[in-house]
Amino acid sequence: MSRLSDRTAALGAAAHTFDLSVEGMTCASCVSHVEKAIAKVPGVETVAVNLATNRARVGASASIDPRAIGAAVREAGYGLVEDAIDIGVEGMTCASCVGHVEKALRATPGIIDAQVNLATERAHIRYHKGLASPEAVENAILAAGYAPRRLASGAAQEDHQAQARAAELASLRSSMLIAVLLALPVFTLEMGSHIFPVLHTLIDHQTSWLVQFVLTTALLAGPGQRFFRKGVPSLLRGAPDMNALVTIGTSAAWIYSVVATFAPGWLPAGTANVYYEAAAVIVALVLTGRVLEAQAKGRTSEAIKRLVGLQPRTARVLRDGQTHDLSIDEVVVGDLILVRPGERIALDGEVADGQSYVDESMITGEPAPVSKHAGDAVVGGTINKTGAFSFRVTRVGKDTVLAQIISLVEQAQGAKLPIQALVDTVTSWFVPAVIAIAV
């Protein structure tokens, strides 16, 4: 008993404690093998393996690499239980961002693999349970310069994402409109005179430059500010993305033009030219692309949005002889739900009383309604046609047929084709390569 209390105290005093789920242990000898293998890892201070729960509790110093613990368990001939999580990632704007997030996640101890999808703004992460956690995943995303978002379930998740997409699209559209309105006169003043020389007689070049300076500065400080907010931190982290390219390009053009406008003597003779129109047009064009991209992202979620819309938000539940209109999330297995003609069936269950015809075309594709009597199974999202009946809930949440269909669609949208993986690899080198060539 004292040995157990000593071991528990030692675990509590360790800088880090890991609770691992170990696969493949069948006897006390297995426990001994696992304990010895983990104990040999540099930095491990205490280890306690429980055969009944198939768990290993490891106390280690702050300097330990959790991956070494997992490797020791595997080398001993046993496995670690894997888990997976889907998490939203906000702030990605290009394939380079995808590469940065995936690199940060895969470098996190305990994470086996990470797949990030730009269109759905989601990351699917597989990790060893106990060596990594959802909190570690979120911290890795934050460290990469992006915002993690826990995904809710069903309609709540879709509502949140729809609102976020609508807000993003509205912001981008207003920024694009302002950028275009500011960039057009800048472009006309600088480039229009080459097509219509008469403009030279209407406004002298110094006045033209001053007008361009004011408009371009307003453009960069307003609509263009979003590129600097993300591009500068990515440069400081040493992981430049497309925002960094826009930041460098527009800043170089603007700074050189400002010097040419206000201190032309600092430049060699004959080189005092302005490039305000380059900075202005770059921001306007990139923002236009971002608007088109945001619209495309919205279309990718339409299928899921329609599927989620098939499930009612509330159900009429019979409890203690009284009827209550409850949220779907409050319904539990075993509840009795009443269904009237024309209503959608809230969840999966089994008819308890009454009979009717149910339209199951969303599941089977068969247009003819199916007769339902006591003992027959019903599926959430299908439509009750004629009679009224009650059914007892057998599956809720992620276990329902509709939730599993939605999950399959999400997985299909989040999966990457081999060519996408190649594109992400190439684009991860694209920005550094462009900067290197420019230098």
Predicted local confidence at residue 2, as pLDDT:
44
Helix (H) and strand (E) counts in the chain: 15, 17
For residues 73 and 50, what is the distance between their CA atoms, to the nearest angstrom?
Answer: 14
Q: Where are the beta strands (DSSP E) in 52-141?
A: 55-60, 79-80, 82-90, 111-117, 122-128
Name the residue among 93, 130, 132, 89 with its Cα closest to residue 113.
132
Three-state DSSP class for residue 119: coil
- Which residues partner with 83 through β-bridges? 127
Residue 137 and residue 148 in contact, taking contact as beta carbons nearer than 8 Å: yes
pLDDT band of residue 83 (cuts 50, 70, 90) is confident
Task: Give the list of residues 6+ apart from residue 184 with CB closer than 8 angstroms, or none.
Answer: none
pLDDT digits (tens, 9 = 90+) for 309-339: 788 888 999 988 888 888 888 899 999 999 9
The amino acid sitting at 352 is: A
Residue 15 is predicted with a pLDDT of: 59
Q: What DSSP line would sit under 324-335, residue for residue? A: EEEEGGG--TT-
- pLDDT > 70: what percent of the chain? 88
| pLDDT tens, residue by residue, 346-378 | 899 999 999 999 999 888 888 889 999 999 999
Spatial CA neighbour of 168 closest among 298, 303, 302: 298
The predicted model gives 91-96 an average pLDDT of 82
Is the pTM of the predicted complex or chain greater than 0.85?
A: no
Closest by alpha carbon to 67, among 48, 43, 97?
Answer: 43
Residue range 170-217, pLDDT digits in tens: 999 999 999 999 999 999 888 877 777 766 667 788 888 999 999 999
- Partners of 426 in the beta sheet? none
Q: What is the pLDDT of residues 105-136, one digit of tens each?
A: 988 888 888 988 887 788 889 888 878 888 88
pLDDT at residue 203 in the model: 78
Local structure of residue 343 (DSSP, 8 states): P
Per-residue model confidence as pLDDT tens digits over 382-409: 999 988 999 999 999 888 888 888 777 7
pLDDT tens digits, one per residue of 268-309: 888 889 999 999 999 999 999 989 888 877 776 666 677 777
Nearest to 412 by CA among 154, 122, 201, 143: 122
CA distance 329 to 313: 9
Instruction: Work out the pLDDT band at 413, boundaries 50, 70, 90.
Output: low
DSSP 129: B
Q: Does position 8 have pLDDT exceeding 50, yes or no?
A: no
User: What is the spatial distance between Cα 289 and Cα 284, in angstroms, rounded to a whole number?
Assistant: 9
Mean pLDDT of all residues in the chain? 83
Q: What is the pLDDT of residue 157?
A: 56
Helix (H, G, I), strand (E, B) or coil at 278: helix
d(CA 345, CA 334): 15
Task: Name the residue with tokens 């305990």.
Answer: 110
What average pLDDT score do residues 162-167 get? 74
